[in-house]
Chain A
Amino acid sequence: MSNQKRNKNVIIAQAVLWVLGGLGLAIGFYLLLTTVSVMKLGGLAIWLIAALILHDGLLSPILFGINFLARGTLLRVSWVNLAIVQIGVIAGGVISLLVLPEIWAKRDGPANNSTLPLDYVLNLSGVWLAIAVITSLILCVLHARHKQNPALTVGESKHVAAEVKHARKDSNTIKFVSKVLSSIAVIIRLLRGFFR
């Protein structure tokens, strides 16, 4: 497709999106104004603003902080190992974000006895444990592969040299993982104590 034709298509698509967007906004705001009382709209406005503040003012800086601390460890742990631990921590963080309100809701008293029937603190702890075990297993496998053949490093051909250099940092990785695990154990203990 020629650039000119592509640009024309982009402009047409933009126009369609603008129209759809305008129409959708009109419907959305009309629904809000006609079906939600003024008092409740005020409540919604507070939540909309609070969501931004929570995200930009709390979640992002926390994420930044965690990242910051993780990168600090970077000086002792190789990139790939750190990435694997980070993926595990992100997965655990996301599921915790979902389950913490669930734990709170259960503590508040479920709507009936078929709602929120499980021990979510225990089960969330189990998920963290499973993530830690899987992450550690992957790290162990990588560690073993490193020892056997330093050139085999999860397809990062460009960074093989750097990886070889970082190989000696693997023992630090294990220390790092054990630190992460013990911190998780402390958090779980605190949470269980709190929600008892």
Chain B
Amino acid sequence: MHKVFQLARLSLALPSRHPRLAVAIGRLLGLAFTICFLTGLYSHFIQHPLPWMFFPDRPVWLYRVSQGLHVTAGLACIPLLLGKLYTVFPLLFKWPPFKGGFVTVIERASITLFVSSSLVQLGIGVLDIYQWYIFPFNFLQVHYALAYIIIASLAIHIAFKLPIITRWWRKKDSVDDSGDLLPVEEGELTLEDSPTARGLTGIVYRWIDKQAPQAPQKVSRRTVLGGIGAGAAVIFLTTSGQTIPALDKLNILGPRKIGVGPQKLSVNKTARSAGVAAKAYDPNWLLTLKHGKKRMSLTLSELEAMPQYTVSLPIACVEGWSQDAVWTGIRFSDIAKLLGAEDNDFMVQSLQKGGYGRTKLEKNFVNNDQTLIALKLNGDRLSLDHGYPARLIAPARPGVLQTKWLSSLEVL
């Protein structure tokens, strides 16, 4: 029995639960969450802009990089969050949980909110990149709202812990000459109330504490940091090839693979799931152009007879994957000139009803020479799943706004 408790104490490995380690992991986690929050806001507002917002159409990789970062940082949060929770693991056993009055209640409520919403946020984020919607609520609305709640509860948590964070922020204030962590001194703020735990757990802790030989401090600390680093590195190496072509060969666990899909390009929404197959294949298909009361229609042959341009632009999705492709078609600006509407925004309508079937194209995108009404992909006519007979493709724009199966373009 004694040995069991001794091992239990070792398993709670005290040296790795030093405030310095919690601060070191905490700031990495804070950075990763902030990156996710900002890149998430960028993606949210480019899809649901407020009237005064402007989104640049250059560089072409802007959206691709932002969402690659969003998902990569989000996945890195998994080992970081688990590591952070591990460093404060004994606090789970603190009893009674709310001793210390109103402030302690607020503190513990904010950290509980942070932990549970972060776990759910990362969980549904991962399920979203697998497009596996098994949760009983909408992804978009909940992921967006939780982002604010997480950042806010994190800010409150940091406010509470700021004295500890500033105490252990710098390495030179935290370690002695031989590189060992300085002990948390009497009266100095520690991560937990002193004694660590009360009640039965506290008694057990103190009893086994007396027995425990401790791991060499640096080994214990480096195991935690090494584990987090190695976990994040394995995730990065085996998945980020879905957006970084140089790492494609290592991409053995990513939910997407470069070159896999119809015409060697991934698809999110298929024609079947959008319910457009019959209309898209209709030989009488027309692209309708609207400018006020003026109406024009172009057949596929007429579109093909217009000057054609070829551009290389990525399809970049909010789920973090992106793939380069070569598109051929008519410049959107040529259509704008045809309608005398170079200085206007456009409403782009798909054959798809609802969802992202109707999107706004701002004038800077309209006038970008790389924005096309594409008819071909990688040299071949668009396949149905890629938007046959015609689709929009523009630089620095999320995949969901690259409207497929075009039906009409309306000047706003």
Contact = CB atoms under 8 A, between A and B. Distances in A.
B262 A114 contact: yes
A10 B162 contact: yes
Interface stretch (B111-119, B277-285, B401-409): B111-119
Given A36-B138, A114-B260, A51 B119 contact: yes
Interface stretch (B126-134, B325-333, B338-346, B352-360): B126-134
Given A14-B159, A71-B11, A114-B266, A83 B141 contact: no
A94 B159 contact: no
A141 interface: no
Interface string B382-403: 0001000000000000000000
A127 B251 CA distance: 11
A188 interface: no
Nearest to A59: B82
Interface residues of A, number: 83
A49 B135 CA distance: 14
A67 B13 contact: yes
B55 interface: no
B60 interface: no
B219 interface: yes
Nearest to B267: A114
A25 B152 contact: yes
B255 A102 contact: yes
A110 B254 CA distance: 13
Contact of A98 (B13, B126, B152, B159): B126
B231 A94 contact: yes
Interface string B241-264: 000000000001111110011100
Interface string A66-92: 011011101000011001001110111
Residue of B120, B232, B265 with highest tally of chain A CB at under 10 A: B120
A158 B220 CA distance: 14
B218 interface: yes
Contacts of A22: 152, 156
Contact of B116 (A29, A51, A87): A51
B253 A95 contact: yes
B226 interface: yes
**Chain A interface SS verdict (over half):** helix
B32 to A, nearest CB: 14
Interface residues of B, number: 87
Contacts of B231: 90-91, 93-95
B98 interface: no
Contact of A60 (B92, B227, B235): B92
A124 interface: yes
Contacts of A115: 130-131, 255-256, 266
B233 A91 contact: yes
Interface stretch (B143-151, B198-206, B296-304): B143-151
A41 B120 CA distance: 13
Contacts of B230: 87-88, 90-91
B152 A24 contact: yes
Contact of B235 (A43, A98, A112): A98
Contact of A158 (B11, B120, B180): B180
A52 B141 contact: no
B227 A44 contact: no
Given A41-B137, A67-B13, A114-B267, A21 B152 contact: yes
Nearest to B75: A98
Residue of B162, B234, B260 with highest tally of chain A CB at under 10 A: B234
B395 to A, nearest CB: 22
B56 interface: no
B227 A87 contact: yes
A127 B234 contact: yes
A126 B138 CA distance: 35
A83 B220 CA distance: 7
Interface string A38-75: 00111110111101101110011001100110111010
Contacts of A10: 162-163, 166
A123 interface: yes
A91 B227 contact: yes
Given A94-B78, A98-B235, A21 B131 contact: no
Contacts of B183: none
Contacts of A126: 252
B105 interface: no
A47 B135 contact: yes
Given A28-B148, A98-B75, A117-B260, A6 B166 contact: yes
A35 B226 CA distance: 41
28 contacts: A10-B163, A17-B162, A18-B159, A43-B136, A44-B136, A47-B136, A48-B116, A49-B116, A51-B123, A55-B85, A55-B115, A79-B215, A88-B230, A90-B223, A94-B231, A94-B235, A95-B253, A97-B78, A101-B127, A108-B132, A115-B256, A117-B257, A118-B252, A123-B252, A127-B234, A127-B238, A156-B216, A157-B178
Given A28-B146, A35-B144, A47-B135, 7 more contacts: A14-B159, A20-B152, A48-B117, A95-B238, A114-B260, A120-B253, A126-B252
